[in-house]
Structure 1
Amino acid sequence: MQYNSILIPLVLLSLAFPSALWAQKNKLLVCLGEEETQIHKRKINGPIYKLNQHFINELAGINDVPLKDEFYQEICKKKILSPSVNLLYHLLLQGKSIFKIPSRSTKNVGLRQFKIALLGNLQRSVPHIMFNYLSSLQALAPTPDCLFKHVPNLAYYLERYKYLESGSQSGNLINDKEKIKELFAGLKKLDSILLKCKRTAIRERKKRSGG
Structure 2
Amino acid sequence: MIGANSNDFLTVDPSLRLLVETQAALKGMRSYSFNLGDMIGGAALEGQNPEPVSEHFLSSVLARIDRFDDITAQALEAAQTAGRSIHELLRLPQPLRDVSLEAAAYQGWTFVGPGMKSMVLETGGELRAKLVRIEPGHGSPQHDHTGTEYTLVVCGAFEDGIERFGPGDLSIKRPGQVHHPIALDNGICIALVIEEGDIALTGALGMLQRLFTRH
Question: Is the shorter-chain TM-score for this pair beyond 0.5, marking a shared fold?
Answer: no
Structure holding more helix per residue: 1
Structure holding more strand per residue: 2
Larger Rg: 2
TM-score (normalizing by structure 2): 0.25
